[in-house]
Amino acid sequence: MILIADGGSTKADWIAINKDKNEEFRTRTLGLNPAIVPEKELHNRIINMFQLINIKDEVEEIHFYGAGCGTAKPIQILKNILESIFVNAKVFIAEDMLAAVYAASGKEPAMVCILGTGSNSCYFNGTNMEMLVSSLGYILMDEASGNYFGKKLIIDYFYDNMPQRIAQKFNKEFNLDADYIKKNLYREPNPNMYLASFAKFMFDFKEDKYIKRIIKKGFQEFFKYRVLPYNKTAETPLYFIGSIAYYFRDILEKIAIKNNLQITDVIQRPIDNLLEYHKHNIN
C-alpha cells in the first residue's frame, strides 16, 4: 500500500493506492504543518484517523508533501512521527510547493503559485524548483493568503476602516472580543489557521467594493513580491493552487493581465492531479 498526502496548515488530504496503483480510499486529517503544530498534536491527528491506522502495517511507502516542510528540522520531526506509526514504510517528505508543481505542470516548466491558508511561489524548470526568496511564514510574508486577508479584516474592523454594513455582519459572524482574539493569536496553537478562518467571510461578499479592494491589493502585492521578480513572459505557463485563488479567480486573472501575464489554470485542491502524477511516476 502507498499513501500520498498533500498537507496544508488547515487540512491534509490522503489517498491510499494499492500495488496495482488503484485507489483504495481517500481521507482527510487536520493540518500537519510541523513548523507550527506541536509534535504530540501531529501524532494525535494521524492516529485519530481510523482509516490510516487500520492499514498502518500494510503501508510500504508514504509520499508526504506539506506546508512547513521546506527545511530540515520540521521535515525530520514529521518523518520520525510517520515512521513511528507506519513502521514498515519508507517515508518521503517534501514541501507543499513541490506537490503544487506536480499537480499543476507535472514535469513541464512553469510558474506555480500557492494561495491558500499560506502563500508561496516558484519557477519549475522541468527538473528543479527555483525559489528566489525563502518563505518566512504567516507573520512576515504569506501575501494574499487566507491568514493575510484575515489579518487585514481584523485590523480594518478595529481601526474602524471597515464599512458599517460590513462591520455589522463581521461582528455577527465572529467573536471579536479583543481578549479572545489575542488568546487565539498568542496562546493557542495554529494562529495562522485562526487568522485564515476570517478570510472565509470574504467569499460571501466578494462583489462588495470594500472586499474587492482588499483582494485586489493583496493579489497585486503577491505579484509584486512573488511572481514578477522571476521575470517570466506571458508565454510561461502560470498556475495557481488553493482556495483563495480558486474562489477569487476572476479578480486574480484581472491582476495577472494588469501585470502582462496570463493564468493557465487554477486548481482548488491538488490531490487528484497529484495522484495521477504518482500513478505514472512510481515504480
Q: What is the mean pLDDT of the chain?
A: 93
The rounded percent of the chain whose pLDDT value lies above 90 is: 79
The rounded percent of the chain whose pLDDT value lies above 70 is: 99
What's the CA dihedral at 143, 137, 38, 244 to 10 degrees?
20
**Cell numbers 483504495: residue:** 24
Distance CA 116, CA 91 (A): 25
- Domains of the chain by range and CATH? 2-100+271-281 (3.30.420.40)
Q: Given this model, what pLDDT does residue 9 score?
A: 81
Instruction: Report whether pLDDT(283) > 70.
Output: no
Instruction: Report whether pLDDT(132) > 70.
Output: yes
What's the CA dihedral at 55, 57, 61, 67 to 10 degrees?
60
Distance CA 11, CA 131 (A): 24
Q: Given this model, what pLDDT does residue 186 score?
A: 93
Q: Given this model, what pLDDT does residue 269 score?
A: 85
Distance CA 143, CA 137 (A): 10
User: What value does the mean pLDDT take over residues 203-230?
Assistant: 95
Instruction: Report whether pLDDT(232) > 70.
Output: yes
Q: What is the pLDDT of residues 144-188, one digit of tens each?
A: 999 999 999 999 999 999 999 999 999 999 999 999 999 999 998
pLDDT bin (cut points 50, 70, 90) of residue 216 is very high
Residue of higher predicted confidence among 19 and 65: 65
Distance CA 46, CA 29 (A): 7
Instruction: Report whether pLDDT(263) > 90.
Output: yes
User: Which is nearest to 269 in space by CA: 29, 4, 8, 49?
Assistant: 8
Q: What is the pLDDT of residues 23-76, one digit of tens each?
A: 999 999 999 999 888 999 999 999 999 999 999 999 999 999 998 898 899 999
Q: What is the pLDDT of residues 84-95, one digit of tens each?
A: 999 999 999 999
pTM beyond 0.85: the answer is: yes
- Strand 2-7 relative to strand 119-124, pairing: unpaired
Instruction: Report whether pLDDT(125) > 90.
Output: yes
Cβ–Cβ under 8 Å, residues 12 and 46: no
Q: Given this model, what pLDDT does residue 258 score?
A: 96
The grid coordinates of residue 98 equal 513541490
Q: Given this model, what pLDDT does residue 123 score?
A: 96
Q: Given this model, what pLDDT does residue 19 score?
A: 86
Q: Among 30-39, 95-104, 256-265, 274-283, whose mean pLDDT is lowest?
A: 274-283
Distance CA 283, CA 281 (A): 6
Q: Please state the separation of Cα 69 from the chain's center in Å.
A: 12
Distance CA 29, CA 11 (A): 6
Residue of higher predicted confidence among 10 and 74: 74
